[in-house]
Structure 1
Amino acid sequence: MISRQILFALMLLAPLTHAQIPLPGLNSGVPKAEAELAPVDSDPRSRAETQLAEARRQQEAGQLQEGGTTGVEGLPISDRQRLLDRLVLAYSERLKLLEELENLKKSPPEKARQQVLLAEFSGSPPYSALRVDALRDEYDALRERQQSLASTERALEKLKVGRIDAQRRAGEAVRLAEDKLARASAQEAIDKERLSRELASLRRQLAEAELANIEIGLERIHMEIQASQTLGREIERLLARVLPEQRLDKEELEQQQALLRKELNTLNSEIDRIVAANSRLAAERERLVKIVAKAGSEVPEARRLQLLDARLETGRVVLITLPWLQTMAQVASDAWTQRALALNSPDPASRQAVISALSQIREDLASRRQILDELQQAARVELRERESRLDGATLDAEAKAQASTLLDVLKERVLAYQRVDRSETRMQLQLERWLDDFGFHAKTASRDDWKLGVLQVVQTLKRVWDFEMFAVEDSTLIDGKTVTVTYGVTVGKSIGALILFLLGYWLFSLLSRHLQQLMVRRFGVNEQMASVMRRWAMISLAVALIIFILNLARIPLTVFAFLGGALAIGIGFGTQTIIKNVISGIIILFERKIRVGDIIALGGMTGHVIAVDLRASTVRGFDGVEALVPNSSFLENQVVNWTYSNPRIRREIRIGVAYGSPVREASEIIVGCANEHAQVLKDPAPEVFFEDFGDNALMLLLMFWVELGPQLSARRVDSDLRYAMEKRLAAAGIAIPFPKRDVHLDLSEPLPVRITHAAATPPDSSCRS
């Protein structure tokens, strides 16, 4: 922490020195400037001694003059004396700071402490756990000291800025006083301005002295920060080396247990003393209550009764905190035992058990921490309210004494809570350290202790597996009585039920697929009907499997009763589209309006239905692209099913023959091509109709029927027929005309003819070559 001298310097420099002070009158000579007081050499200590001697001389001279002399206009000369007193203190403080700085440079304490630490842990491991704890405490104290030094450094830097500004303004005041002195003519004005210049010069000297003290203090702070940082790094390296090698032998454990037993005995004695004191106070209170009841509330006993009530309440608070401290001591004893077991046992399972026990102790302490904070805060609030009332009240001596005593009683409550707070904070710190030593993610744990890591992971997974998400009640009737049994639904039970359901569904899926193939091969069931039966069987088996697994895992169906109410709205809005498609799929499977293998046309897409599932159906287009169509689209839109009741469809091919061609012969040729094609149905037979007299041809229409199926392509049939008709008609000499146009020219008037000559162009170089 900050030394006493630096704190004294900060208190010395705290008041502002550039405030306006009334000018006294004094007929003394002008003091010498600080530059004139500086010695020839540049030694700071010698210069400070010279300045201190001169300031003391002026101080003594001023004290002699102040004995019976007054200044101009009868004003006292205490302002000059006050500045000289502060100047003497500033120079004296500078000498102390310089001496401490020299001593710090010659023999820094951190260096000596570093050597002591290295000597303490220079031996071979294992190292004493108590010595390691002392090293940790020293490291924590060193870190707090570094933070305090950093705060002091920031404060001095801000104070330095203010003193630099004060020095500048003091210099300006000196120059202004010299100008006024030079312009003064009368002797009285000269004496007055001479005094003003002297005061301004003293203020400047004081500002310069305080600034020099701040700079020396900053230099010392910087040295201490650097030394503490060096020592901190050395302690960190030392801790990294000794922490994995610490041991707690039986003698050290017994030593700690003896200290804790001694603390328990002390706490028992305190409890007995407080109980006895409260008994006496309770008896005294009963006597005072009777007196006050007879004489009224204005007697002195009424005030004593109020004070007795406060003391009894404080005793009650102390009797609450002392057992709390006893529990802390017992917990600390158990924790030390667990620590010794973990440090001295190489078994990872034992260390894992210790980790669990220490973690539970830490959680218990954390759970009581909030209660302690609330009680402590309430006691402090009551104390502050009582202090504020006492400060603003006008009381006589007796009432003031009683109020002061009452404040002391309230402070005892705060101290009792603070005692428990310190004990819990220390215990929490120790537990954090020990768990850091033993934990899987600890900074100081052994890197090779992989078994402990595995055990900790297994333990964590086990806690997650056994975590109870919620509990349900199941009522059964036994011997005419209703017995309610509570079941806990854990994470492991839920995951097990889910895995079992997935496994059973997978097995049922394989079995149903095998049965579908068996029905098609052996029993001659239509493939579409077999697929529908398989779908309904899977739905039924899934529902039965869910019920069986819930009963097997002892999860009653009533668990979904409250879930249904909580999730109904969310499921209704979030899954309405899915539910609509699922219901549409069930309707499609039930009505069989759309079946596997049908050729449908929906939304500009035509193709075969290859699968009808619960949510969506799969349609493969004639171009081989598969589309997933939501089942609700089949119910909400117009669907063309080419193979709903009859897979036969009628196809038409138009063909034109030239005018003058034998139409009957052409018709027979076209019908013969259709009859010879294997995929054109004979019933109904293909027919040719003379459709129209076209602009360029006689139009014939071939109408024929085909039966759609997975292996039939209507476009392929049309193409084959066109190939055959073109070949047969050409062989018969019947032409298939193309469009022709006749152009008629009106030659009643001569047509103008104009001949133009193209501009001569230079011959191409390629042609020339």
Structure 2
Amino acid sequence: MRRGSRTPFLFLLAFQVATSLAAEPIKLASDTAAATPSESSPNKAAIEPDPDSARLIDVIVAQQKNALTALQDLRAKEADLKNQLTRLASGTIDDGPPYSILVLDKLNDAIAASRPQRESLDESQLAARDAVERSRLEVEANKRTLRQIKETHNAAVAESIKAIEREIRFAEETLVLRRLELSIEENHRSIHSLELKINERKREIVSKQVTFAKLTLDEKTAELDVREMELNAASDSLKLDLQYAERRWLAARQEFDALVGPNPSATERVEALSLAKQTIQVEQGVVNQRLQRLPMMRASWDRRYRVATGQSTREERRQWLTETLSQLEQLSRERRTRELKLAAARSSLDAVASKADESTSQDPERTRWLDRQNESWSKQIEQYNRSLWGIDSASRALTRLQSEIEGEPSRTFAQWIEDAWGSLRRVWNFELTSFDDTSLTVGKVASILMFVFFGYFAARWLSRLMGQRLPTFGVEQAAAGAIESLSFYVMLITFALAALRYANVPLTMFTFLGGAIAIGVGFGSQNILNNFISGLILLAERPIKSGDLILIDSTYGNVTRIGARSTLIRTGDNLDIIVPNSKFLENNVINLTRTDDRLRSSIKVGIAYGSPLEKVMQLLEQAATENPGVHPQPKPSVSFNDFGDSSLAFQVFFWVTARNMAQMRTIETQVRLAIDRLFREHGIVIAYPQQDLHLKSQTPIEFRLAREQSECTEFKAAS
């Protein structure tokens, strides 16, 4: 409870008890006024007035006087604090500089503790305002009821009017008291704000002229030594107590096991002795934790002294800051654990209290052991609270050390570079995982990635250079392309293995990962692997190669590039077709230029009946032979294929050199032009489809010629 606020709140508590006892009579009086018979029922008597109303009003008035006295004291204290704040404007406090580091710690603790107090004061002020509003509404409601009763002009309700007037008086006095209480809460809030400003101003003054003397460090070290001796003595005493408690519990347990039938008192006795032993263990754990924190407290005071006196290096301060942050995180975890145990202990205490309330007084032995359980749980709660207090004390000490380390003067550029390099080095050497006695750090991963990245471009450049130079040594262009692709993959794998070797990462580290990847790839990437392996087979076996003219799915095209997953084919229309590599191994593919570039072509032509056949065959052979794109050997040949319906079918065969369909079509076009020219010169007609129509009829066919203005001429003709 806040200082200076205990007396008014005790009076407030007494008032609430008194009003709770007197609430029913007052409500009865109010209900009587509301239920007073009207002029139509004069035989119903009015309820007698409450004789305790005057006494309750006197109690409220007495509380008003006490509240007024407390308010005057608070206002006097507020005025005194304002004077203190005014005196602090001079820049000094009573003790005078230099100021001890302990003074600064005390001010920091007071400022930190004021934050939760501010929230509590805000809640109290809101509650007081709500109470004032409720009292005001009650006064208005009573006055409204009184006005309504007076308007009836009934003499039988005279006593009820007096009761309502006493209720109004009581409500008005209560409203005055609530307003005084609101003023008290507002003054508490104002005093808290002034105290916070005074402490902040003092901290501002002290922090400029604070000193950390060696004597202060020695005093704190001596205090910690004394505390260590006390805790060791307490630990030794608790060991003896625990042995005694264990013997008592074992004896009670043996007696309980020897009993026949249920015995509630014996059951509660065993539970109480077991709980007493557990309570000693809890206290022992708290003492041991406090002992374990003493070296940390000594180190924090020593480090604060070295930081304040400039006896520490930057590397030491960085290391201390890392350790301090880790210790604060550990204390935070311990606090959460203690809070959970404290909540469980409070719940158990409530359960024991409920069990004690339900038990009858006919079994005093069982009641006594339930009281012992209650005492044990209360002691555990006390120990958990002491543990939380110790954790908070250690956290405050470490937080002071952290703020003093982080509050160092601004770094120079060289120091900034040094810190940045140190941070980068720590990140570079951070261990991600380990396998056997080999650690995989961030630096190794980055080295491997950079090595593979530059190795990729190096492999690409070297393989391209090799593919460009090989044709100059007599290697075919298609073979050079295959060697370029294979060498790229070989060099890329070599660079990857070299990167792992450079970083001292064994391949066994990726055994498990490789197995997992293989399974995933096997199920989810079958087609990709199939096409990749097919591409390697195509590059090695070379059933097709770059530049070959192939026929696939009734489409002619030249192989442009054989990649890792697919092959690129370019048609005569300059369209690129991407074909998966597996299709070349699973389906029939016609390679027109696999062994050489020579292709046999043919042209069909129809000659009119009656043409000289020997001359036709001679001219067809001449048209093919004279073309420079046609091979003289084997010689062009002509065949007489058939007697067609409209023509005599001839076909000339010849061999050409073509790497694509465009070249072949060009030569075929030239041969066709030559055939047409020679046939024209020698009067040979190239036939076209003809049909003769024969009409048969037994009667003459009638024809009519229609002219304009419906004039027509009819004639008959014989069939």
SS of residue matched to 2:708: coil
Q: Describe how 1:19-168 pairs up with structure 2 within 5 A.
A: 21=26, 23=28, 77-89=50-62, 91-92=64-65, 95-96=68-69, 99=72, 107=79, 109=81, 112-113=84-85, 116=88, 119-120=91-92, 130-160=102-132, 162-168=134-140
What amino acid sits opposite 1:594 in the alignment?
Answer: I
What amino acid sits opposite 2:160 in the alignment?
Answer: S
Measured in 1, the distance between the counterparts of 2:525 and 2:80 equals 75
Aligned to 1:356: 322
In the alignment, is the contact (CA less than 8 A) between 2:345 and 2:380 conserved in 1?
Answer: yes
Aligned-pair CA distance for 1:527: 3.4
Aligned to 1:563: 513
Aligned-pair CA distance for 1:424: 1.6
What amino acid sits opposite 1:355 in the alignment?
Answer: L
- Write out per-residue CA displacement over residues 175-204 of structure 1, whole angstroms, 9 at most, x where no aligned residue: 344356x324xxxxx3xx333222222333
Aligned to 2:439: 488
SS of residue matched to 1:609: strand
* 1:471 corresponds to 2:434: yes
Measured in 1, the distance between the counterparts of 2:628 and 2:87 equals 109
Q: Describe how 1:125-524 pairs up with structure 2 within 5 A.
A: 130-160=102-132, 162-179=134-151, 182-184=153-155, 190=156, 193-211=157-175, 213-214=177-178, 249-251=211-213, 254-256=215-217, 258-273=219-234, 275-276=236-237, 279=240, 313-345=278-310, 348-366=314-332, 368-369=334-335, 372-373=338-339, 375-377=341-343, 379-395=345-361, 403-404=370-371, 407-432=374-399, 434-435=401-402, 438=405, 457-473=420-436, 486-501=437-452, 503=454, 507=458, 510-517=461-468, 519-522=470-473, 524=474
In the alignment, is the contact (CA less than 8 A) between 2:252 and 2:270 conserved in 1?
Answer: no
Aligned-pair CA distance for 1:531: 3.8
SS of residue matched to 2:434: strand
- Write out per-residue CA displacement over residues 652-671 of structure 1, whole angstroms, 9 at most, x where no aligned residue: 56778999999988887776
SS of residue matched to 2:523: helix
Aligned-pair CA distance for 1:325: 1.3
Q: Which runs of 5+ in 1 are unaligned?
A: 26-71, 185-189, 474-485, 756-769
Measured in 1, the distance between the counterparts of 2:400 and 2:331 equals 15
Measured in 2, the distance between the counterparts of 1:606 and 1:111 equals 103
Q: Which runs of 5+ in 2 are unaligned?
A: 31-44, 694-700, 711-719
Aligned to 1:596: 546
Change (3 A) 1:76 1:562: same
Q: Alignment identity in percent? A: 24
In the alignment, is the contact (CA less than 8 A) between 1:608 and 1:621 conserved in 2?
Answer: yes
Aligned-pair CA distance for 1:265: 1.0
Q: Describe how 1:571-590 pairs up with structure 2 within 5 A.
A: 571-590=521-540
Q: 1:631 aligns with which of 577, 581, 593?
A: 581
TM-score (normalised: structure 2) = 0.73
Change (3 A) 1:144 1:449: farther
Change (3 A) 1:21 1:499: same
Q: Describe how 1:531-542 pairs up with structure 2 within 5 A.
A: 531-537=481-487, 539=489
In the alignment, is the contact (CA less than 8 A) between 2:46 and 2:160 conserved in 1?
Answer: no
In the alignment, is the contact (CA less than 8 A) between 2:26 and 2:167 conserved in 1?
Answer: no
In the alignment, is the contact (CA less than 8 A) between 1:247 and 1:340 conserved in 2?
Answer: no
In the alignment, is the contact (CA less than 8 A) between 2:300 and 2:397 conserved in 1?
Answer: no
In the alignment, is the contact (CA less than 8 A) between 1:111 and 1:231 conserved in 2?
Answer: no
SS of residue matched to 2:630: coil
Measured in 1, the distance between the counterparts of 2:579 and 2:309 equals 69
Aligned to 1:642: 592
What amino acid sits opposite 1:149 in the alignment?
Answer: L
What amino acid sits opposite 1:360 in the alignment?
Answer: S
Aligned-pair CA distance for 1:334: 0.9
Aligned to 1:753: 708
Measured in 1, the distance between the counterparts of 2:611 and 2:194 equals 117
Aligned-pair CA distance for 1:304: 9.9
Measured in 2, the distance between the counterparts of 1:288 and 1:748 equals 138
Aligned length: 677
In the alignment, is the contact (CA less than 8 A) between 2:606 and 2:648 conserved in 1?
Answer: yes
Aligned-pair CA distance for 1:696: 11
Aligned to 2:37: none
SS of residue matched to 1:431: helix
SS of residue matched to 1:412: helix
SS of residue matched to 1:558: helix
Q: Describe how 1:645-660 pairs up with structure 2 within 5 A.
A: 645-651=595-601
Measured in 1, the distance between the counterparts of 2:97 and 2:518 equals 66
Measured in 1, the distance between the counterparts of 2:25 and 2:604 equals 120
SS of residue matched to 1:681: coil
Measured in 2, the distance between the counterparts of 1:257 and 1:266 equals 14
Change (3 A) 1:277 1:596: closer
Measured in 1, the distance between the counterparts of 2:86 and 2:611 equals 123
SS of residue matched to 2:545: coil
Aligned-pair CA distance for 1:598: 1.7
In the alignment, is the contact (CA less than 8 A) between 2:429 and 2:443 conserved in 1?
Answer: yes
Change (3 A) 1:129 1:507: farther
SS of residue matched to 2:706: coil
Change (3 A) 1:700 1:594: same
- Write out per-residue CA displacement over residues 662-709 of structure 1, whole angstroms, 9 at most, x where no aligned residue: 998888777656545443333444567788999999998665443332
In the alignment, is the contact (CA less than 8 A) between 1:607 and 1:619 conserved in 2?
Answer: yes
Please say which of residues 287-296 and 524-533 is displaced more in the overlay. 287-296
Change (3 A) 1:75 1:114: same
- Write out per-residue CA displacement over residues 223-252 of structure 1, whole angstroms, 9 at most, x where no aligned residue: 77688779979988998x899x8797540x
SS of residue matched to 1:107: helix
What amino acid sits opposite 2:382 in the alignment?
Answer: L
In the alignment, is the contact (CA less than 8 A) between 1:24 and 1:80 conserved in 2?
Answer: no
Measured in 1, the distance between the counterparts of 2:525 and 2:250 equals 74
Aligned-pair CA distance for 1:113: 4.1
Measured in 2, the distance between the counterparts of 1:111 and 1:721 equals 121
Aligned to 1:65: none
Measured in 1, the distance between the counterparts of 2:187 and 2:557 equals 89
In the alignment, is the contact (CA less than 8 A) between 1:653 and 1:701 conserved in 2?
Answer: yes
